[in-house]
Amino acid sequence: MLAYILRRLLLIIPTLFGILLINFIIIQTAPGGPVEQMIAKLEGFDAAAGGATGRISGGGAEVATAGSNYRGAQGLDPELVAEIEKMYGFDKPAPERFWLMISNYLRLDFGNSFFRDAKVTDLILEKLPVSISLGLWSTLIMYLVSIPLGIAKAVRHGSAFDVWSSTAIIVGYAVPAFLFAILLIVLFAGGSYFDWFPLRGLTSNNFEELSLGGKLLDYFWHLALPVTALVIGNFATLTLLTKNSFLDEINKQYVTTARAKGLSENRVLYGHVFRNAMLLIIAGFPAAFIGIFFTGSLLIEVIFSLDGLGLMSFESALNRDYPVVFGTLFIFTLLGLVVKLIGDLTYTLVDPRIDFESREG
């Protein structure tokens, strides 16, 4: 097993390299980079509108300064354009910029943000608590709710409990998490009914003055609504997956044999069926965790004014803040690969018969 873990850890290196290379190549072809955005600001145009399209010109004509690769640079001193390129590191050819970025990443140096006047590492560390809080607690609660519920539905398949719980699951699947978030705000955050929960931030302004117990209560008080919205909006798929996986295993011959030997239903269910059915559930854990950690929480962060990595990454992509984009891409990719490895290792805890080393041999 140790050899397998070492091989997987070593495989992370070329995987990260390949993902960063592909994204670097794609970004080079995207219009409206940081140089164009700065030119847009100097010309008095909106960076999002002018920089993204490259249409920055007088009288509606699209004109470029002679010898310049940037549309909309008319009227600007070529030396000023060259100075802007040097400021953002675009005075070097693309291959040199990529290798410089990789060498810095090996030292965990993600550079400085183009537009936030801060180190990318500091920005990530500042936003990380919000994203970890949303992703960790949402995923944990979702699994703690979905797995027992899915097992109960499988055992009571076709019963009244299965029917009405399926109705609730269908509603949860059909309605996006951000709509649940808005509903929760209207009901419980001072919208139209009750004002029981805060509407923004991860902690209160007087958080540092509270006792340890008070800090924990304040922390979970702020997380209650966003985590609830994420859980309600994402638990349906996992619940149905658990139910179908258990139903598939319950109908197999070894379950009939175990029952014929006189084993109790709980022994059959949790001693034999559980470890086989859970393999499929564990396989989906990395995708579920990363999905909630980043893409799933983006709108939740906006609605509840939670400044996390999802929101920062989205804004950085819009603003072409490349150091932040690649820094967060590196973090999310590395985290996803590590979680995937942990998921594979969890297989052996659920079912010790699985031997990854013999499979690879």
pLDDT of residue 135: 82
- Listed in sequence order, the residues at least 6 apart from 345 whose beta carbon sits closer than 8 Å to its beta carbon are 1, 5
Mean pLDDT of 154-167: 89
Residue 59 has pLDDT above 60, yes or no: no
Backbone φ and ψ for 322, nearest 5 degrees, come out as: -60, -40
Q: Note the pLDDT tens digit of each residue in 195-228.
A: 888 888 888 888 888 888 888 999 999 999 999 9
Residue 352 has pLDDT above 70, yes or no: no
Structural domains present in the chain = 31-106 (no CATH), 120-360 (1.10.3720.10)
Mean pLDDT of 82-91: 73
Residue 298 has pLDDT above 50, yes or no: yes
Q: Note the pLDDT tens digit of each residue in 253-296.
A: 888 888 888 888 888 888 778 877 877 777 667 666 666 666 55
Contact 64, 70 (CB under 8 A): yes
Task: Give the percent of the chain with pLDDT over 90.
Answer: 4
Q: Which residue has the higher pLDDT, 256 or 63?
A: 256
Q: What is the mean pLDDT of the chain?
A: 78
pLDDT of residue 286: 66
* Burial (CB count within 10 angstroms: exposed 0-12, middle 13-18, buried 19+), residue 353: exposed
Mean pLDDT of 314-336: 84
Mean pLDDT of 167-192: 84
Own/partner long-range contacts of 152-161 (Cβ < 8 Å, ≥24 apart): 153/239, 153/243, 154/242, 154/243, 154/244, 154/246, 154/247, 154/250, 155/246, 155/269, 157/243, 157/247
pLDDT of residue 319: 80
Q: Note the pLDDT tens digit of each residue in 114-150.
A: 878 888 889 888 888 888 888 888 888 888 888 899 9
Length of the chain: 361
pLDDT of residue 220: 92
